[in-house]
Structure formats: C-alpha cells, structure tokens
Structure 1
Amino acid sequence: MDFVLKEENGFSYIDEGEGEVLLLLHGLMGALSNWEKVIDEFKDDYRIVIPMLPIYDLPLLTTGVKTLAKYVHKFVTYMGLKDFTLLGNSLGGHVGLIYCTNHMEFVKSLVLTGSSGLYENAFGGSFPRRESYDFVKEKVEYTFYDPKTATKELVDDVFKTINDRNRVIRILAMAKSAIRHNMAKELHKITIPVSLIWGRNDKITPPDVAIEFNHLLPNSELHWIDQCGHAAMMEQPEEFNKHLRAFLDRDKVKA
C-alpha cells in the first residue's frame, strides 16, 4: 500500500483525496490496508480518512468498544470533521454504531459490512493456538469465502500479532467487550441512512445478523454479495464499491 501514514497529536491515520469525507474504521484483526481498494476507487471523488484504532495501546482495564468510540470522537474533533459518511467492517462497524448513538449529529450516513454489535463467531468459535501456524492459517481462511483471499502476507501478519503477548491479551479483552455489548435495544436511535453491504457466505457475522440489523435500524437497506465472506471490501471489492457508490450517490441526491 503506497498511502502515507500520518502521525499527529498521538493519532496515526491515512488522509487521501478531497471532497466529502468517508471515515473508515477497520476490524479487530484488520489493518488500514483492508480498505485499499476503497481508497483506490473513491480518492478522486472523496476525502478518505482512516484512523488506526489503538486496539493494542489501551490500558487493559479500559480496553473495549466504548473506549474505541470515544477515541474516534477525539479524532473527529481533532480533525474538524463533520457531515461525513462512516464505514465500518467487523469491530469497526460496532465502534461506528456506538459512535452514531452518541454523536449522530456529526454523521451523514453509515455503511456496515460484517459488523459486530449483535453477535459474531470470532475465529470460528475458538481462538488460534499461538504455536500453530497452520491453525492460524486455517482460521484466517475461515474469514473468507475463497481461502485464497487469505494471502501469506495476511496470515503472517495475524500470526505475528497473536504471538505478541501484550497484543493477544488486548485482542481477547476487546473481543469479549464486543460480545458483551449487544446493541439490539439501541439501534432504533440511529435514524440516518444506513447501507448494509454483506457477504452472503459470511461465517463470522452470518446473514441472519445482517437481516436483524436491517430490521432494527429504521432507515437501512441491505445488499448481498455472493461468494463473499466477512470482509467484502477485500474479497469482492468491485461489487462492494458498486453498492457503496450507488448508496453515496443516492445520499447526495437526498441532501
């Protein structure tokens, strides 16, 4: 990925393009590079901002989804962002939902793909054994419909992460926080337009999750992507970007 990672005031982030802001939030085991195809597609029409969420840097006692949402608001305030579209994958979607319930006046619309917040099957119901590369590879592949999407680079990155004791403790704490923080009773508060772009073969946050989000979010629409798992913007980027652009274009017309 050739994009410049900026470091300012304790924040690490990507800031590419000009125009209306798309604020992108990555998942628990994700990285800024997960959004590479979205950046490539939209940077000529939008300003794309992606903060690196401090999952591994929080004090253990405050490691949780609510703390990440507060961090996002500090970042938004520091950057002077407003009237933006927020996109979140997996844990990033969950953080985005919490952010919207607390600061909806800043957000124009919301896009969720493979979001937690209702229920999820992290790593297929078990956490990887740190000593087993093959086991980690199998579980990273589980994230996708096509196992080939789990490149060696991606598997190496996850393997390295979960063999760092400091990181693995925080990953477990964050995952538990996400599971405990069920948002079913709060979603009615989010009245901005929401687009759910979901892999029909998602095994982490299965199709039932998307259907329930669509039922509970009062101003939402649901779009399926076939032959696609938990990270649609990585596995089926062209289809994901097509749905995203259509939503953004309709949102502009409404505005």
Structure 2
Amino acid sequence: MSYEIKQHDKFKFIEEGEGEVLLLLHGLFGALSNFADLVEYFRHKYKVVVPILPLFDLDIFHTSVGGLEKHVQKFIETRGYNNIHLLGNSLGGHVALVHTLKHPEKIKSMILTGSSGLFENGMGDSYPKRGDYEYIKKKTQVTFFDPEKATKELVDEVFEITNNRIKVIKIIALAKSAIRNNLGEELSQIKQPTCLIWGNNDTITPPFVGKEFNRLIPNSELHFIDKCGHAPMMEVPDEFNKLLEGFLDRLKP
C-alpha cells in the first residue's frame, strides 16, 4: 500500500491515522518502504508519522547524527507533536536517542531496533569500485537473516545510492559520525520507558548491543526475535508489531 507524501515547509513525511503520535525514523540506507507493514498495522490506533530524513540534502558540515537530530527537532516543533512514541531503526535509533537526551519533554516512550549509538559494523572498511552490483547485493543481504528479503528493488535502491559519488561521501560522513558519537555514558539519563526489539541474528548491531542498551537504559525491556537480522520490522513484521503493540498497550492508563 502506498501513502501520500505530505509536505510542510521543508519537511516531507507520511502521516496516517489519528491518536497518539508514533514517529518512525529510518536508517542510513532506509526508506519509507521499511515501515510499510508497521504503518498499515498501527494507523488504525495511532497517528503514525514517518519523516523522510535528509541523509543527502544537508551540507557536509551538518551531515551527522547531530544534524539529523536537529532536523527531527524542527520537524516535531513545526508539526506541534506531543506525547510521542519515538521509534528508530539502525541510524534512526541513534537519532532517536540523541533527540530524547536533548529534548525529553515531548517523548513519551522510545523504541529501538538494531540501533547504533554503542557499536555497529558498517558497510565495511572500504567501499568497492562504483558499479559493483554483486558486492552491493551481498552487503544488502547481510541486513537480513534470510538473504531473499533483500529484494531486487531494495538492492537497486542501495546500488543507486552507492553509485553516486556525492551520496557515498555523505554516507561515509554519517557512518563516521555514528561511530564517533558513542552514547554509553549518557544512556542512564533516559527516563522514558524504552522497548528494545532485536534480531537474534543481527550481524550489524549484534545481540550483545541490545543487551548493553538494556543494561544502560534504566526503564528498558529487551525482546529478541529468532531467525531475524538488522531490520525486524521488515523481516518479521507480524512478531515485531505484536511486541510493539504489547509495549504500547502497557503504557496506557
């Protein structure tokens, strides 16, 4: 199902449904399609919002975790959202963490899945020669437990990004920013209820990363999903949505 991409000032986003805001932040190679099953499941009970993060549109000095967080902060202010359930996958989880630490007042809860912020394996130490489709296909497949989940459409999307010199420079800048921006010493300050949903077979942010987040974030709960990699909401949407629904239901008065 495709949703209308709305525009408000400089912000592009999807907004579906009514109720408390469930705000979703995608990762470095992410797109709106990553959350298709999640949007469809929750739009009947929540206002589900997915901003398109300007991964390639910020100037190089602001192409960082902090630059993306500022974009999210301005988006939330512009739209007037409150009592937000903030969910992030991969780099989106990192942005969610930084935002919650800086602006906790509007965040009701946080959900992290395969989040960076403590440790992550990137695309690798070196980028291949542009045009190496098979390499990009293998790297995209690593995101999932089941390599078949890396559809041709998804691999084509990643290939297009890595085949553009400017986009590659910005991807590297964001990846380096994520590695530098380690939040280990700050996580104890997070007061919001936090749900950690992790793939047991995640090789990018392995299971020990989920356990460490759980140890460091005071009011957090951790759930592992078997036969699942770095993007549980894409690979096992039914199980992911049930875990998320249970967490959100427990927060209701």
TM-score (norm 2): 0.98
Q: What is the CA deviation profile of residues 203-230 of structure 1, one whole-angstrom value per residue up to 9, with x for unaligned ones?
A: 0000010000000000000000000000
Q: Would you identify which runs of 4 or more consecutive aligned residues in structure 1 move more than 3 Å? A: 124-129
Residue 129 of structure 1 and its aligned partner are, at CA, apart by: 3.8
Kindly provide the amino acid, as one letter, of the partner of residue 69 in structure 1. E
Residue 98 of structure 1 corresponds to: 98
Supply the distance in 1 between the matched residues of 2:126 and 2:39 (Cα, whole angstroms): 32
TM-score (norm 1): 0.97
Summarize the alignment of residues 185-224 of structure 1 with structure 2, pairs less than 5 Å apart.
185-224=185-224
Going from structure 1 to structure 2, the CA distance change for 1:125 and 1:208 (only over 3 Å counts) comes to farther
Supply the distance in 1 between the matched residues of 2:251 and 2:41 (Cα, whole angstroms): 18
Summarize the alignment of residues 100-179 of structure 1 with structure 2, pairs less than 5 Å apart.
100-124=100-124, 126-179=126-179
Residue 165 of structure 1 and its aligned partner are, at CA, apart by: 1.2
Q: How many residues align?
A: 253
Kindly provide the amino acid, as one letter, of the partner of residue 229 in structure 2. G
Residue 80 of structure 1 corresponds to: 80
Structure 1 gaps, min length 5 = none
Residue 54 of structure 1 corresponds to: 54
Residues 142, 203 of structure 1: 8 Å contact kept: yes
SS in 2 for 1:172: helix
Supply the distance in 1 between the matched residues of 2:52 and 2:166 (Cα, whole angstroms): 17
Supply the distance in 2 between the matched residues of 1:219 and 1:66 (Cα, whole angstroms): 24
Supply the distance in 2 between the matched residues of 1:28 and 1:99 (Cα, whole angstroms): 17
Question: Does 123-132 or 158-167 show the bigger shift?
Answer: 123-132
SS in 1 for 2:192: coil
* RMSD between superposed Cα atoms in Å: 0.9
Residue 19 of structure 1 corresponds to: 19
Kindly provide the amino acid, as one letter, of the partner of residue 89 in structure 1. N
Supply the distance in 2 between the matched residues of 1:73 and 1:85 (Cα, whole angstroms): 14
Residue 42 of structure 1 corresponds to: 42
Supply the distance in 1 between the matched residues of 2:128 and 2:232 (Cα, whole angstroms): 23
Supply the distance in 1 between the matched residues of 2:162 and 2:142 (Cα, whole angstroms): 16
Supply the distance in 2 between the matched residues of 1:52 and 1:220 (Cα, whole angstroms): 27
Supply the distance in 2 between the matched residues of 1:161 and 1:30 (Cα, whole angstroms): 11
Supply the distance in 2 between the matched residues of 1:19 and 1:147 (Cα, whole angstroms): 36
Residue 246 of structure 1 corresponds to: 246
SS in 2 for 1:252: coil
Residues 83, 108 of structure 1: 8 Å contact kept: yes
Q: What is the CA deviation profile of residues 81-119 of structure 1, one whole-angstrom value per residue up to 9, with x for unaligned ones?
A: 011100000000000000000111110000000000001
SS in 2 for 1:111: strand
Residue 127 of structure 1 and its aligned partner are, at CA, apart by: 3.5
Matched, 1:227 2:218: no
Going from structure 1 to structure 2, the CA distance change for 1:242 and 1:68 (only over 3 Å counts) comes to same
Supply the distance in 1 between the matched residues of 2:123 and 2:53 (Cα, whole angstroms): 20
Supply the distance in 2 between the matched residues of 1:7 and 1:172 (Cα, whole angstroms): 28
Supply the distance in 2 between the matched residues of 1:209 and 1:161 (Cα, whole angstroms): 27
Kindly provide the amino acid, as one letter, of the partner of residue 195 in structure 2. S
Residue 128 of structure 1 and its aligned partner are, at CA, apart by: 4.4
Q: What is the CA deviation profile of residues 119-175 of structure 1, one whole-angstrom value per residue up to 9, with x for unaligned ones?
A: 100125554442210010000001100000000000001001111111111000000
